[in-house]
Amino acid sequence: MSCARFLALLFTFGQAIAFAQSAELNGRITDSSGSVLPGVKLAVTNSATEAVRDASTNDLGYYTVLRLQPGANFLKAEKQGFRGIVETSIN
């Protein structure tokens, strides 16, 4: 492969990375007494595309939702035995 061709491929790959945009959402879910809630099912939905990213809380109540699309999103959290929540102001 010639040096010029390699640089052209490298430049194209670099542009793709530079324009890739995503976000992540992370946090911890607790009940009203402050106890952690493992196993909460989360769904983050992009309002424009309706793309859904799923996650759940770990044993310490923490969660991370990766590769969110930019723009307005809403979060739905559910766990059996608890009232679910919907948070609509995630940008």
What pLDDT, in 10s, does the model give residues 24-71? 889 999 988 989 899 999 999 999 999 999 999 999 999 999 988 888
pLDDT band of residue 20 (cuts 50, 70, 90) is low
Measured between alpha carbons, how far is 40 from 80 in angstroms, rounded to an integer? 8
| Strand, helix or coil for residue 81 | coil
Model pLDDT, residue 91: 76
Q: 88: phi > 0 → left, psi -120 to 50 → alpha, else beta; which? A: alpha
